Homo-oligomer: A and B are copies of this chain.
Amino acid sequence: MENEQHYLQKLFEPESIAIVGASEKPNSIGVTLVRNMLDSGYKGSLFFVNPKHETVFGGKSYPSVDAIPHRLDVAVICTKANTVPEIIDACGRAGCRNAIIISGGFAEAGPRGSSLQRSALENARRHGMRVIGPNCLGIMRPGSQINLTFAHGFAHPGTIGLISQSGALCTAILDWALPNNIGFSNVVSLGAESDIDFGEVLDFMVSDPRTENIFLYIEGIKNARRFMSALRAAARCKPVLLIKVGKHPAGRKAVLSHTGALVGADDVFDAALRRAGVIRLANVGQMFAAASALFSHFRPRGKRLAIITNGGGPGVMAADYAEDIGIPLAQLDPAALARLNGLLPGTWSKSNPIDILGDADPARYGAALQACIEDENVDGVLAILTPQAMTDPTQAARTMIEISRKSDKPLVACWMGEDQVLEARKLFQGAGIPSFRTPEPAVDLFSHISNYYRNRQLLMQTPPRLPNRRHRESNRRVWSSKRR
């Protein structure tokens, strides 16, 4: 496996690329693709195809793919739908084995589009070509200076592999990621998935050493068996975080009109995901939060959360929400309690949430965090700060960062407010400690981190031999209780 290339490697790591439909026309997809590749710093060979032009931005423009005097690894196609089947055929004749069809106007546009899509795919199959799309944003591979998308701008190189059925969502995630310094190994917009599907790209991401975490946005699955099998394999190796929409009939109807994919019953899917060890996120906000957290290298052992707070109210909010989502509050060890009794004023809460009181200084925050880190009953810490009169939010953040550095127990920060906590939030971001405005998303994130590790442990376990006799007995018990 290590010496063998994944069969999609050439698609994601092409040495030569043709942009079919390359253009200088303002606001066209063709010009955006060309600009993105010219700006990307790509080291391979880049060719432009457009029969209407002699040159595009000074580069030679070929009348057709098979006129290019060079082996092609990938052709990116953004011409009108009715031209695509013939272009695919030309690609095949030229020996190009991978195409990304950006263009829309296929199956999603009605019967004529469906027929064009069929022709394009037939031509691709005849030549042994693989196809991403149609109707997609394209792919990015920032570490290799490849930006074959029509997104505004480029992404930072990083460790997240993003696979999305929505190109629009990709653009929103990318635009958010840039100023927040979140980087990607691969960004893949699948579009209509006429050929290469979710499961195959997922499989590539698992084999890709640059990808440490996989984020999926899903509207519908076409090949459920292959998908779940790829998902299980992926989640064994790397954290897989997933958003799936189309839970309800209204959403499903919208999915159908959008990508034509069918969505199964949501609860069945949910159960399958949990068994596969995948973390399901509820919304893009959680995906943003998770993306920020992936830069921190926490290793939780379980789900028991300790809450440190200088305000009772926010502590209760966090405790409430933890219970809502099944995160138990840690029962502090007597040794930790004794230690905290020695370090905190007499009126502290004496239990978890650890209310270190409104006049808590950075030292008190530090003492509480240290006690939690040393307490075996605590699997992770949520530290909440409200900017009260005697509070020093920035210095408290510095103290927390310093102490947290010496431990791999997860720390999530919630410095509430705005102006007074801005500096602290920047410090947390710089230190790779996830930080939030309000307690609930912070608890969500801890839940996702801890679920991942728990799922992974479960997957790693070999199930013990079934104790046959007992099993039968308990079965009998169930039956007899039913009869009663």
How far in angstroms is the closest Cβ of chain B from A251?
4
Is B29 touching A440 in the complex (CB atoms < 8 A)?
no
Task: Decide: A353 near B313, CB < 8 A? Known: A171-B417, A320-B246.
Answer: no
Q: Nearest B residue to A167 by beta-carbon distance?
A: B358
In the assembly, what is the distance between CA of A346 and CA of B110, in Å?
A: 10
In the assembly, what is the distance between CA of A440 and CA of B151, in Å?
A: 24
A389 contacts which chain B residues (CB < 8 A)? 27, 29, 32, 150-152, 171
The 21 listed contacts between A and B (C-beta, < 8 Å) are A104-B347, A108-B347, A167-B311, A168-B386, A169-B416, A176-B416, A176-B417, A178-B419, A245-B313, A250-B320, A250-B323, A251-B317, A251-B320, A253-B351, A258-B355, A282-B440, A283-B440, A284-B314, A284-B416, A284-B438, A285-B440
Is B316 touching A438 in the complex (CB atoms < 8 A)?
no
Task: Decide: A312 near B166, CB < 8 A? Known: A152-B389, A418-B176, A438-B283.
Answer: yes
Q: Nearest B residue to A414 by beta-carbon distance?
A: B172
Contact residues of A between 234 and 267, Cβ < 8 Å to B: 243, 245-251, 253-255, 257-259
A322 located at the interface, meaning its Cβ lies under 8 Å from any Cβ of chain B in the complex: yes
Contact residues of A between 377 and 416, Cβ < 8 Å to B: 386-391, 416
Is B172 touching A314 in the complex (CB atoms < 8 A)?
yes
Is B248 touching A164 in the complex (CB atoms < 8 A)?
no
Q: Nearest B residue to A177 by beta-carbon distance?
A: B418
Task: Decide: A219 near B316, CB < 8 A? Known: A168-B310, A386-B169, A388-B151.
Answer: yes
Interface string of A209-230 (1 = CB under 8 A from B): 0000000010100000000000
A475 located at the interface, meaning its Cβ lies under 8 Å from any Cβ of chain B in the complex: no
Contact residues of A between 339 and 390, Cβ < 8 Å to B: 346-347, 349-351, 353, 355, 358, 386-390
A145 contacts which chain B residues (CB < 8 A)? none
A23 located at the interface, meaning its Cβ lies under 8 Å from any Cβ of chain B in the complex: no
Closest 10 CB pairs of A and B: A168-B311, A166-B313, A175-B417, A258-B312, A172-B416, A248-B323, A251-B320, A168-B386, A169-B313, A150-B389
How far in angstroms is the closest Cβ of chain B from A412?
16
A288 contacts which chain B residues (CB < 8 A)? 437-438
Q: Nearest B residue to A441 by beta-carbon distance?
A: B285
Q: Which of B152, B176, B245 contacts A320 (CB 8 A)?
A: B245
How far in angstroms is the closest Cβ of chain B from A455?
24
A418 contacts which chain B residues (CB < 8 A)? 175-176, 178-180
Among A172, A179, A283, A314, which residue has the most Cβ atoms of chain B within 10 A? A172
A132 located at the interface, meaning its Cβ lies under 8 Å from any Cβ of chain B in the complex: no
How far in angstroms is the closest Cβ of chain B from A401?
21
A283 contacts which chain B residues (CB < 8 A)? 317, 321, 438-440
Contact residues of A between 157 and 214, Cβ < 8 Å to B: 164-169, 171-176, 178-180
Contact residues of A between 108 and 125, Cβ < 8 Å to B: 108-110
How far in angstroms is the closest Cβ of chain B from A217?
6
In the assembly, what is the distance between CA of A174 and CA of B321, in Å?
A: 23
A253 contacts which chain B residues (CB < 8 A)? 319, 351
Q: Nearest B residue to A245 by beta-carbon distance?
A: B316
Task: Decide: A254 near B349, CB < 8 A? Known: A151-B388, A388-B167.
Answer: yes
Contact residues of A between 22 and 46, Cβ < 8 Å to B: 27, 29, 32
Contact residues of A between 428 and 453, Cβ < 8 Å to B: 437-441
A420 located at the interface, meaning its Cβ lies under 8 Å from any Cβ of chain B in the complex: yes
In the assembly, what is the distance between CA of A472 and CA of B309, in Å?
A: 55
A155 located at the interface, meaning its Cβ lies under 8 Å from any Cβ of chain B in the complex: no
A390 contacts which chain B residues (CB < 8 A)? 27, 29
A278 located at the interface, meaning its Cβ lies under 8 Å from any Cβ of chain B in the complex: no
In the assembly, what is the distance between CA of A322 and CA of B254, in Å?
A: 13
A277 located at the interface, meaning its Cβ lies under 8 Å from any Cβ of chain B in the complex: no
In the assembly, what is the distance between CA of A173 and CA of B388, in Å?
A: 11
A358 contacts which chain B residues (CB < 8 A)? 104, 167-168
